[in-house]
Amino acid sequence: MVQSGPFVHTAFVLLLLIPGTLAWGKEGHYATCKIAEGLFCEETATAVQALLPEYAEGDFASLCSWADEIKWHKRWSSPLHYVDTPDFRCNYEYCRDCHDTVGRKDRCVTGAIYNYSMQLLDYHQPFSEYADNLTEALLFLSHFIGDVHQPLHVGFLGDEGGNTIHLRWYRRKSNLHHVWDTMIIESAIKEFYASDLAIMIRAIQRNITDDWSSDISMWENCAANHTACPDPYASESVRLACKYAYKNATPGSTLNDDYFLSRLPIVERRLAQGGVRLAATLNRIFASQKLSAQA
Ligand SMILES: *[C@@H]1O[C@H](CO)[C@@H](O)[C@H](O)[C@H]1NC(C)=O
Ligand SMILES: *[C@@H]1O[C@H](CO)[C@@H](O)[C@H](O)[C@H]1NC(C)=O
Ligand SMILES: *[C@@H]1O[C@H](CO)[C@@H](O)[C@H](O)[C@H]1NC(C)=O
Ligand SMILES: *[C@@H]1O[C@H](CO)[C@@H](O)[C@H](O)[C@H]1NC(C)=O
């Protein structure tokens, strides 16, 4: 996604002209939500179905890019897709970093994850002052938990999370942010997964149940039994941004096999973590309500 700034209008026009530049790209968000869906407990699956708008026809993952699609119409939401750290700082701190370009606190991806998970906790209290539109809360939350796992959604302020680092992805002109949102995933689907996103998703799911199974409870864990805990995800992202995304990706460079093949496993693991954590967060939200409803 393109971060907001003085040139948002130009960027918007360009985005309309270039198909497939919004988002993690559509594929990344779809994968995150598809992986999450497979891990919903029963209460969560029921609540999500009840909240989905009719036009989704029950397909949760198909609406995982909704927050990108409405970003230009609901302009206030565009700073909620990312958080920037000061230049060359490879750590993240909520109080220092979570604000928008004019300094309003909490207006960043981690702040938004807290916001929308709090709103969803009111699912069974329809007259709550927070329960503005819980369908939108679900769609925002699902999208932002994906975004916070994309390393360059927690990148440096000066280069707008890699958006202003212009370079080539093989022979195509691109920018570093877009490479991580979209190009690595699209190239992988084409090269390794018979041009079929579903095959890529199944490969990641297999790793979740096999190779990574011993890591899952750590991924799901939320400190001090909180409902949502996006801060450690953002810290991981900026560390990965420094170690893998920015490394050897200077303005004007050309990224090819060396970069692609070494970064793809990082991307696949982040998609897995995003999916596992989205499911864990929604399961905590909807299962806890069942408990309090019974109390
Ligand atoms: C919280 O959610 C409401 C409703 O969508 C929105 O108006 C507000 O800007 C959000 N704030 C943050 C920090 O996400
Ligand atoms: C809630 O938001 C969804 C998605 O934008 C929309 O389709 C629906 O009409 C909204 N519901 C209300 C009651 O405003
Ligand atoms: C599966 O896990 C292995 C070991 O961590 C890794 O090398 C491989 O890239 C992963 N594949 C996918 C599709 O995530
Ligand atoms: C978290 O919840 C578990 C199980 O309910 C409890 O044993 C543990 O003490 C709690 N941890 C914290 C830090 O509250």
Question: What pLDDT is attached to residue 131?
Answer: 60
Q: Which of 225, 227, 288, 291 to mutate to test the pocket of ligand 4 (most atoms within 8 A of CB)?
A: 225
C-alpha angle 212-247-164 in degrees, rounded to nearest 5: 110
> Could you identify the residue written with the tokens 């408990």?
291
135 lines ligand 2 (CB under 6 A): yes
Q: Could you say which ligand is closest to the alpha carbon of residue 100?
A: 1
136 lines ligand 2 (CB under 6 A): yes
133 lines ligand 2 (CB under 6 A): yes
Question: What pLDDT is attached to residue 145?
Answer: 98
**Ligand 3 centroid to residue 183 C-alpha, Å:** 18
* 3-state DSSP assignment of residue 174: strand
Question: What b/e readout covers 247-258, taking b as 16+ CB neighbours within 10 angstroms?
Answer: eebeeeeebeee
- Class of residue 290 by CB neighbours under 10 A (exposed 0-12, middle 13-18, buried 19+): middle
Which of ligand 1's atoms lies nearest the C-alpha of 108? 13
Q: Whose CA is nearest to atom 1 of ligand 1?
A: 115
What's the whole-model pTM score? 0.89
DSSP state of 180: I
Question: What pLDDT is attached to residue 294?
Answer: 43
Which of ligand 4's atoms lies nearest the C-alpha of 223? 13
Question: What pLDDT is attached to residue 4?
Answer: 45
Q: Spell out, as residue ranges, where the chain has pLDDT lower than 70.
A: 1-23, 126-131, 288-295
> Percent of the chain scored above 70 by pLDDT?
87
Question: What pLDDT is attached to residue 124?
Answer: 75
What are phi and psi for residue 85, nearest 5 degrees?
A: -105, 160
What is the CATH code of the structural domain delimited by 6-294? Answer: 1.10.575.10
